[in-house]
Amino acid sequence: MTITATVLDEDMTLTVAQLCESLGLELDELIGYVQEGLVEPRGISPQTWSFPGPALKRLHTALRLRRELEIDLAGTILAVELLEEIEHLRARVHALELLLGEAR
Amino acid sequence: MQYKDYYKIMGLTRDSNADAIKRAYRKLARKYHPDVSKEPQAEERFKELGEAYEVLRDPQKRAAYDHLGSTWQPGQEFTPPPDWQTEGFGFNRSTAAGGATANHFSDFFETLFGHAFHARPDASGTGARVRGQDQRAKVAISLDDAYRGTTHVIQVAVAEADATGNRGTRNHTLQVRIPSGIVQGQQIRLAGQGSPGMGGGPRGDLYLEVQLQPHPYFEAEGRDIYLNLPLTPWEAALGAQLTVPTLGGKVEVKIPAGSQAGQKLRLKGRGLGGKTPGDQYIVLQIVAPPALTPAAREAYERMSQELQFNPRSHMGV
């Protein structure tokens, strides 16, 4: 049997319930991350919020870092943003190395 | 079952105090945290570290562990002492249906301390209908497969609890249809392929994070694709109509006359798909043919006489 995968891209929508259930997250915690700007919901109140697919990965990374490295909310969000920036820069470096012929 | 040297894992000695243990944990956790670390086997090291810390941070568990003695070598075949259960440490195996988690500890830990210590309290023994936990794994796919979409057979270790609540992992083979246009680091969800639920609860989901494998000549940056395209000096100078590879197949590209190395040409919409597909960038590179034959040497000499060209004039030399 072949299982079809759903891509968690920007067009995909996750509800508050789905996010909280998947991550074992309380609504209050989710609101905290939203207030700090880690993830941006569509909709005006927590009752009607929905999130784009990539929010799940961001929140998952944040929760792991916070729990496992014992860092506070602001520090966690800074770490997630810096990690994403590093990932982006790393992809750029790879592309540039290729263009300079170093990858060969 | 193999003996684990928790002190060695944490780089500590047996007389380290609680502060030293905490410091060592913090430091190594930052070093090996799978979200942060680029070390090989970071995931494994981090797990091992978590287990070591779980034991050494807890005076009761640490005392019990120390009681095994210091003559064991890491990896040595280990059987618990016969008096283990009666030592009064109280680590009898729990039979509560502990929540299955992917982060289970080693057999060594389980044998010594059972799983009552890290079972999720919310899920144990209540008989409640609980949805299974979501699982996460990584999957490596080629750029070509990412572009076209693919059916991939993957093996995932699914954590499960049997009827008596004993935990274990089972290798599970799944055939997965991955849609086209996936990009590096993106997650895909396989509904109902995570850990089984309890009390009749549904299974959790399985999330796979996509890692794109390196390609011999394409490089992906998000949805955009970069290709280094070598040209001869005359193709660059005179312009040319060339066949160029893209992920979707070969295309004809017009190289304008007077092109220089480093210039970029954009093939719109030829990158990785999605609602807004990326572009393919062709970066021009000029390759000088070697002057190996008298005729080739003659051609270069004629160029040097006829083309008044100093590429270093801007340096004032």
Is the CB of residue B50 less than 8 Å away from at least one CB of chain A? Answer: yes
d(CA B2, nearest CA chain A) in Å: 26
Listed in order, strand segments (DSSP E) in A8-80 are: 13-15, 50-52
Q: Which domains does chain A have, with CATH numbers?
A: 13-99 (1.10.1660.10)
pLDDT at A77 over 80: yes
CATH 2.60.260.20 location in chain B: 135-212, 218-315
- For residue A98, what pLDDT is reported? 74
Task: State the pLDDT at residue B119.
Answer: 44
Tell me the shortest Cα–Cα distance from B11 to chain A, in angstroms.
18
Report the pLDDT averaged over residues A56-62.
94
Could you say which of A1, A56, A95 has the minimum Cβ distance to residue B187? A56
Is A6 in the B-facing interface, judged by CB distances under 8 Å?
yes
Q: From first to last of its 317 residues, what are the pLDDT tens digits of chain B?
A: 888 899 999 999 999 999 999 999 989 998 899 888 888 888 889 999 999 999 999 998 898 888 888 778 777 788 777 666 544 455 544 333 333 333 568 888 888 887 554 444 444 455 678 888 888 888 899 999 999 999 988 887 766 666 666 666 778 788 999 988 899 999 999 998 888 888 888 888 999 999 999 999 999 998 999 999 999 999 999 999 999 999 999 999 999 999 999 899 999 999 998 778 999 999 999 999 999 999 999 999 999 999 988 999 999 98
- Is A78 within 8 Å of chain B by CB? no
Q: What is the model's pLDDT at position B118?
A: 46
Domain ranges in chain B with CATH number 1.10.287.110? 6-92
Q: Supply B208's token pair.
A: 């796979």
Place of tokens 């609540």: B165
Closest B-chain CA to A95: B219
Local structure of residue A14 (DSSP, 8 states): E
CATH of B218-315, one of 3.40.605.10, 3.40.50.720, 1.10.540.10, 2.60.260.20: 2.60.260.20
Q: What is the pLDDT of residue B210?
A: 92
For domain B135-212, the question of CATH label 2.60.260.20 is answered with: yes
For the cut 50, the answer to whether the pLDDT of residue A29 exceeds it is yes
B176 touches chain A (CB under 8 A): yes
ipTM: 0.82
Predicted local distance difference test score (pLDDT) of residue B87 = 46
| Sign of the torsion formed by the C-alpha atoms of A26, A28, A29 and A34 | positive
CATH number of the domain at B6-92, out of 3.90.1150.10, 3.40.50.1100, 1.10.287.110, 1.10.3130.10? Answer: 1.10.287.110
Question: What pLDDT is stored for residue B215 in this prediction?
Answer: 92
- pLDDT value for B227: 93
pLDDT per residue as tens digits for the range A46-57: 989 999 999 999
